[in-house]
Amino acid sequence: MLDTATISALARQLYDARKARTPLRHFSRQHPQMSIDDGYAIQRAWVALELADGRCIQGRKIGLTSRAMQLSSQIDEPDYAPLMDDMFFAQGGDIPIERFIAPRVEVELAFVLGRPLQGPGTTLFDVLAATDYVCPALEIIDARIEQFDRETKAPRKVFDTISDFAANAGIVLGGRPVKPDALDLRWVGAMLFKNGVIEETGLAAGVLNHPATGVAWLANKIARHDERLNAGDVVLAGSFTRPTPAVAGDCIHADYGPLGTVSFRFA
């Protein structure tokens, strides 16, 4: 376990990197003994810095929900991070590219809770009962810690990703909100377009066989820190497409069929 001073220093580096849009070398390279618990400790210390600035938490994101991503990261469960209030962007609008270092886009479903979820023991059915509505969402992920080391080209480790807010940087909600029992959420599909060209397709069942499964996992996971998911929280359940890179001028559009569309442009 990293000592408190090191955790605070690394959290400050991430806080500064987000503001300056300057990527960092892998923490796991500097600290080979780093663990998953260290990653979450750094993440919580970074959140404290954001809260001290007057930011607030408006929800959570769940990442690494596909089996393929877990195997590539050498873990057997997802990861998670907070959604800060300044990460939300308007549907159909322009998003300033200078907010990010190397943005990529993922297709997700967002669960908006009508009442709290407190683990342990939370089930998929508890999630569905507590959810006010589900809607399409696009997540913008970014890398304050380099995805690949600038010299060795080695990929970052899961400890790096976890400390780096699980790579989340922005969220756009859109489409048509539906009650969680209005359809079988496993069969929600989406097509992701960039500048009118289809880049990715996916099915929500790719998220742990049911996207609500990840929300239940999260409620149980954070309970050990005496935390819960609150009424009004937005929970990104996990991506069911590969991330698509984007640059200034790119128009992003996701079509969820009967659930409508989500779009924005990087300006």
Q: Which residues, other chains included, contact 163 with Cβ-Cβ below 8 Å and sequence gap of 6+?
A: 10, 11, 14, 27, 38, 39, 40, 42, 43, 46, 145
Rg (CA), the chain: 17
Q: Which residues, other chains included, contact 210 with Cβ-Cβ below 8 Å and sequence gap of 6+?
A: 124, 185, 186, 204
pLDDT at 1: 87
pLDDT at 28: 95
Residue 123, token pair as written in the block: 């089930």
Q: What are phi and psi of 254, to 5 degrees?
A: -120, 130
Percent of the chain with pLDDT over 70: 96
pLDDT at 59: 97
Q: Which amino acid is at 236?
A: L
The DSSP element (H or E) to which 161 belongs, if any, is helix 158-163
Instruction: Quote the CA–CA distance of 77 and 65 in Å, as a whole number.
Output: 7
Which stretches in the chain have pLDDT values below 50?
none
pLDDT at 69: 55
Instruction: Quote the CA–CA distance of 187 and 23 in Å, as a whole number.
Output: 37
Instruction: Quote the CA–CA distance of 66 and 259 in Å, as a whole number.
Output: 22
For 103-126, the pLDDT digits (tens) are 999 999 999 999 999 999 999 999
pLDDT at 67: 59
Query: Residue 83 burial (CB < 10 Å; 0-12/13-18/19+)?
Result: buried
Instruction: Quote the CA–CA distance of 119 and 127 in Å, as a whole number.
Output: 11
Instruction: Quote the CA–CA distance of 156 and 255 in Å, as a whole number.
Output: 31
Instruction: Quote the CA–CA distance of 35 and 99 in Å, as a whole number.
Output: 29
Torsion angle defined by CA atoms of residues 170, 173, 175 and 179, in that order, rounded to the nearest 10 degrees = 130
